[in-house]
Amino acid sequence: MVYSTKTIRNVMLATGVALALSLGVTQPAAAEFPEKPVEMTVLFGGTAQTISQLLADLMSRNLPQPVVAVSRTGGGGAVGYAHVQSTAADGYNIVWNSNSVSTAHHKGNMPFNYEAFTPIARISIEVPALSVRADSGWSNLADMVEAVKASDKKLKVGISGNGSFTHLTSAALFDNLGIADKVTYVPYGKGKAPIELLAKRVDAAVQWPGQFISHQKSGELNILCVTSEQRIALLPNTPSCDEAGASGLDITMWRGLAAPKGTPAAIVEKLQNAAKAAAESGEFQEASKNIGFTIAYLPAGEFGKLIVSDDAKISSLMSELGLKK
């Protein structure tokens, strides 16, 4: 039923445009976009929400109408994606997306995939990190791998949830290190993995660097490596996993903006430019240092290519793990 209204709307829109063209009217809709507030659907709470609220605030300064961050959480992002996907492709409904567009689809929680959206711009990336307790005596990745291989016990690794991004990252990492069969993943909701590590209930945790840094400074945790190919600005002295022994590993989570498929290019470009200005502003850079993410603006075209290649990567990783539906 939803589709039929959408189809009707599209037909009406098409008729309207055809009529406008036949009458020789220039496209006023696109030229004046936005005429009303733009709604940015946010799929998750926590850091994702904080960044989105700041981004929306900064984008509003570069547009005649405000951008409003609206939270639609649930289903690992599926609820929010489904909402935006069902709205008109006019640029007034955009989504603060991430690799979750691939994980939610391949898990079978979402009947459509990234192709239902038009990319606008990538804004930032976040890189998971592997951490262990300082009293484990493991000061680098090789120490840990050696100890795990020598031990007859399994390594308990705290992650966010089965099938979550940190799970996929850990699986790829331990597979690369050749110890995949000696690892037990312990899923914790809501970012509790770091304290479970501190409390000695798990041996390692794969989470976001911001959750570990303060404990590393206080000397209780060691961050062994970050999963991107390059080191990250937040942790200049921490090697990448690639350097530390997991050669070829390169996993990062991106966040960006997308609109329903079929949104006119002129509107996408306006949103892309507003996003670019926001991402490059001093305030956003300040926030990136404080919150612990990396600003990584990419225009719509390149962002689109990245989504396609990452989707293939995630899909094959999930099939290996038996998580793909």
Partner 1 sequence: MEILLTALPLALDPLTIGLVVLGALLGIIFGSIPGLTYSMALVLVLPITFKFDAVPAIGMLLGTYIGGMTGGSVSAILIGIPGTPSAAATVLDGYPLAKSGRAGLALGTAVVVSAFGGLFSLAVMIVSVDLVARLAIRFGPAEIFALVLFGMSTICGLAGKSLLRGLVAGTIGLLLMTVGMDELDGVPRMTFGTTSLLQGVHLLVAMVGLFAVPQVMNMLADYKSGGQALYRAKAVKTELPSFRQLRGNLSVMIRSALIGTGIGSIPGTGGPIAAFLAYDQARRFSPNKENFGKGELSGVVASETANNAVTGGAMIPLLSLGIPGDPATAIILGGLLIHGLAPGPMLFMENKVEVYTIYLAIGLAYIAVVLIQYFGIRLFVKILRVPPHILAVGILVVCVVGTFAIRNSFLDVYVMTGVGLMGYLLTRFRIPVTPIVLGLVLGETMEREFRTAMILSEGKFDIFYTSPMALFFFGLVIAVIAFQLVGARRERAKLNSNVQEKAHAEN
Give yes or no for residue 162 binding partner 1 (CB under 8 A): yes
For 60-208, strand residue ranges (E) read 67-71, 93-98, 117-126, 129-133, 155-159, 183-187, 204-207
Closest to 148 measured CA to CA, from 97, 199, 204: 204
Size of residue set near partner 1 by CB under 8 A: 59
- The only residue of 37, 75, 239, 304 in contact with partner 1, by rule CB under 8 A: 75
Q: Which is nearer to partner 1, 172 or 241 (CB)?
A: 172
User: How are beta strands 117-126 and 93-98 bridged, if at all?
Assistant: unpaired
Complete DSSP assignment for 8-72: HHHHHHHHHHHHHHHTT---HHHHH--SSPEEEEE--SHHHHHHHHHHHHHHHTTSSS-EEEEE-
d(CA 110, CA 80): 11
- The only residue of 19, 21, 28, 45 in contact with partner 1, by rule CB under 8 A: 45
d(CA 250, CA 234): 17
The DSSP secondary-structure symbol of 292 reads: T
Give yes or no for residue 205 binding partner 1 (CB under 8 A): no
Give yes or no for residue 198 binding partner 1 (CB under 8 A): yes
Pair 315, 106: CB distance under 8 Å: yes
Q: Which is nearer to partner 1, 170 or 242 (CB)?
A: 170
d(CA 107, CA 186): 19
| Cβ at position 277, least distance to partner 1 in Å | 16
Interface stretch with partner 1, choices 15-23, 104-112, 113-121, 139-147 (CB under 8 A)? 104-112
Q: How far from chain centre, in Å, is Cα 25?
A: 41
Q: Which is nearer to partner 1, 73 or 273 (CB)?
A: 73
Give yes or no for residue 319 binding partner 1 (CB under 8 A): no
- The only residue of 105, 215, 255, 276 in contact with partner 1, by rule CB under 8 A: 215
Pair 255, 126: CB distance under 8 Å: yes
Give yes or no for residue 28 binding partner 1 (CB under 8 A): no
- The amino acid sitting at 171 is A
- The only residue of 9, 182, 192, 313 in contact with partner 1, by rule CB under 8 A: 192
Pair 189, 262: CB distance under 8 Å: no
| Cβ at position 87, least distance to partner 1 in Å | 12
Give yes or no for residue 202 binding partner 1 (CB under 8 A): yes
Pair 211, 191: CB distance under 8 Å: yes
Q: Which is nearer to partner 1, 30 or 68 (CB)?
A: 68
Give yes or no for residue 47 binding partner 1 (CB under 8 A): yes
| Cβ at position 313, least distance to partner 1 in Å | 18
Give yes or no for residue 37 binding partner 1 (CB under 8 A): no
Write out the two tokens for 21: 């063209």
- The only residue of 10, 65, 139, 184 in contact with partner 1, by rule CB under 8 A: 184
Closest to 206 measured CA to CA, from 250, 156, 242: 156
Site for partner 1 in 245-304 (CB under 8 A): 283, 286-287, 290-292
Q: Which is nearer to partner 1, 183 or 246 (CB)?
A: 183
Site for partner 1 in 116-145 (CB under 8 A): none
Contacts with partner 1 by CB under 8 A lie at 45-47, 49-50, 53-54, 56-57, 70-76, 78-79, 82, 107, 109-111, 154, 156, 161-164, 184-192, 194-196, 198-199, 201-202, 210-211, 213-215, 217-218, 220, 283, 286-287, 290-292
